[in-house]
Amino acid sequence: MAHLAQRRRYQVDLVAQQAMGDMNYLRLCKLLHDLDTRDQWCFSICLPVGHDWHVSVNVEERARFTTTVLLSRHQGPCRWTQSPTLKVRMYHDARMAEVVACERHRVNQGRYEYPNGKMYQADEKAQLNRFLGEWLALCLAQGKAPVNLKLTG
């Protein structure tokens, strides 16, 4: 019975994480088709309830093998449904993308001990990368561009 009381430790699934990174990179490339020459994109997503979401993507940093972008949603139907701002690093040589920060909280470990001081879930990084994939898929399926927005920080 003692072994049932112990919680099984989260194991990182590297194959699944790499596959998600590959898919997120491809989704970003499809959305940001002119990444080499442009720094900002905006998409309008029409929701069935009659409200639009406006998603912006801004290049934060460019390097030889990486590009870092910020994804955020603006002007949602209500403030409590506001999506977090995600900092995403695209690795062009590996053709992968991953979330490196969420709302200014760096998420750089594949597994976190739980509980921890920042209250990250054991699989925080995997959850954020899945969320990124769902968000990008929604932008590809429902997004319309360009949208002229005055973005406020």
C-alpha dist (Å) from residue 117 to 112, 113, 120, 121: 10, 10, 8, 11
The predicted model gives 30-46 an average pLDDT of 90
For residue 41, how far is the Cα from the chain centroid? Answer: 15
Q: Is pTM, for the whole model, over 0.85?
A: no
Over pLDDT 90: what percentage of the chain? 39
For residue 92, report the phi and psi dihedrals to the nearest 5 degrees: -70, -35
The pLDDT value given to residue 14: 77
For the segment 95-145, what is each residue's pLDDT rounded down to a tens digit?
A: 999 999 988 666 666 555 667 676 666 677 888 899 999 989 988 988 876
Cα–Cα nearest to 114, from 122, 103, 124, 105:
122
